[in-house]
Structures are given as structure tokens and as C-alpha cells.
Amino acid sequence: MALNRPLGSTGDTGPSSSTDNRKQSLYFPEAMLDDIKSESARLDRSLSWVVQRAWKTARAEIRKIPSSESVEGAPSSVVEKKSD
């Protein structure tokens, strides 16, 4: 079983840590984090840059996913589209 590992840090590591309120810890499955690290090295970019670009690329597709509240009575973990 792969463990989740954090990307980023919320700990105080320098003078900017007390002024930057946008810092977050994100947890990814180990295999996914390894893929992100590989792409980061291949592109010679930071992990943060790769994740931000992935979000910008996938954002439109993610917005197409119905929310759990959009289908009345559906369980919050599964939303199925009914066809007649």
C-alpha cells in the first residue's frame, strides 16, 4: 500500500512564512507524486509550477463534473446520470 506524501509545507521555514497565507500542504499518492517529480525534472520547473499548470489544464474538465448536490437524493460519493 502506497503512502501519501505531502507536497509543500506549512511550517515556519523562513521570514516569508509569516506573511504568505496562501501556503498549503497537499497530499498525493506516492506514485502520483513520483510522476509529478519526474515531470518537474524533465521540464526543469518546480513541483508547484507543474501542479499549477495541471490545474489550469484540467480546470474546465473538472467543472463539468456534477456536484453531489446537483442530483437530489444521490449519495455524496457517487453521482450517476440517469438515462431514460
Number of domains in the chain: 1
Asked if the structure places residue 19 within a domain, the reply is no
The verdict on residue 44 lying in a domain is yes
In a domain, 73, yes or no: no
Is residue 47 included in any domain, yes or no?
yes
Nearest Cα neighbor of 55 from 26, 80, 79, 16 is 26
Domain presence at residue 81: no
Residue 66, domain member (yes or no): no
Residue 32 counted as domain residue: yes
C-alpha–C-alpha distance, residues 66 and 36, integer Å: 27
CA dist 52 and 58 (Å) reads: 10
pTM for this model (two decimals): 0.57
DSSP state of 50: H
Residue 49 covered by a domain: yes
Q: What tens digit of pLDDT does each residue of 14-63 get?
A: 455 556 678 889 999 999 999 999 999 999 999 999 999 999 999 999 99
CA distance 62 to 60: 6
Range of the domain at 49: 27-60
In this predicted structure, the answer to whether residue 72 has a pLDDT above a threshold of 80 is no
